[in-house]
Structure 1
Amino acid sequence: MVDLATHPIARRWPAQHPDRIQLYSFPTPNGVKASIALEEMGLPYEAHRVSLSDTDVKSSEFTALNPNGKIPAIIDPNGPDGPVGLFESGAILVYLAEKSGQFGGATAAQRFEILQWVMFQMGGLGPMFGQMGFFWKFAGKDIDDPRPRERYAGEARRLLGVLDTALQGRDWIAGEYSIADMAIAPWLNALNFYETKEQVGWDDHPNCVAYLERFMARPAVQKGLNIPAREG
Structure 2
Amino acid sequence: MTTQTKPIEAYSLPTPNGQKVHIMLEELGVPWNYHRIDIGKGEQFTPEFLAISPNNKIPAIVDPEGPGGEPISIFESGAILKYLGLKFGKLYPTDPRQQVKVDEWLFWQVGGFGPMLGQNNHFSVYAPEKIPYAIKRYNDETHRLFGVLNKQLAGKEYITGEYSVADIAAIGWAQAWERYGITREEFPHVHAWLERLAARPAVAAGLNWGKDVQAKSLADDKEAQKILFNQRAR
1:220 matched to 2:208? no
1:130 to 110, 118, 135: 118
TM-score by length of 2: 0.85
Contact 1:41 1:100 in 2 (8 A): yes
Counterpart for residue 111 of structure 1: 99
Find the counterpart in structure 2 of residue 45 from structure 1.
Answer: 32
Matched AA of 1:184: A
Give per-residue Cα distances to partners, 1:85-106, cap 9 Å, x unaligned: 0000000000000111001013
Q: Match of 1:165, as an amino acid?
A: K
Aligned equivalents of 2:71, 2:86: Cα separation in 1: 15
Look up the SS of the partner of 1:91 in the other structure: helix
Measure, in 1, the Cα distance between the counterparts of 2:46 and 2:208: 23
Aligned to 2:77: 89
Secondary structure of the structure 2 residue equivalent to 1:23: strand
TM-score between the two structures when normalised by the length of structure 1: 0.86
> Hey, what does 2:131 align to over in structure 1?
145
Deviation at 1:40, TM superposition (A): 0.4
- 1:210 is aligned to 192
Aligned-partner SS, 1:204? coil
CA RMSD in angstroms comes to 1.5
Range with bigger deviation, 221-230 or 106-115: 221-230
- In 2, the alpha carbon distance for the partners of 1:28 and 1:144 equals 24
Question: Tell me, what secondary structure is at the counterpart of 1:154?
Answer: helix
2:176 is the alignment partner of 1:185: no
SS at match of 1:209: helix
Which letter maps to 1:64? Answer: A
Extract unaligned runs of 5+ from structure 2: 215-234
Distance 1:202 1:90 in 2: 27
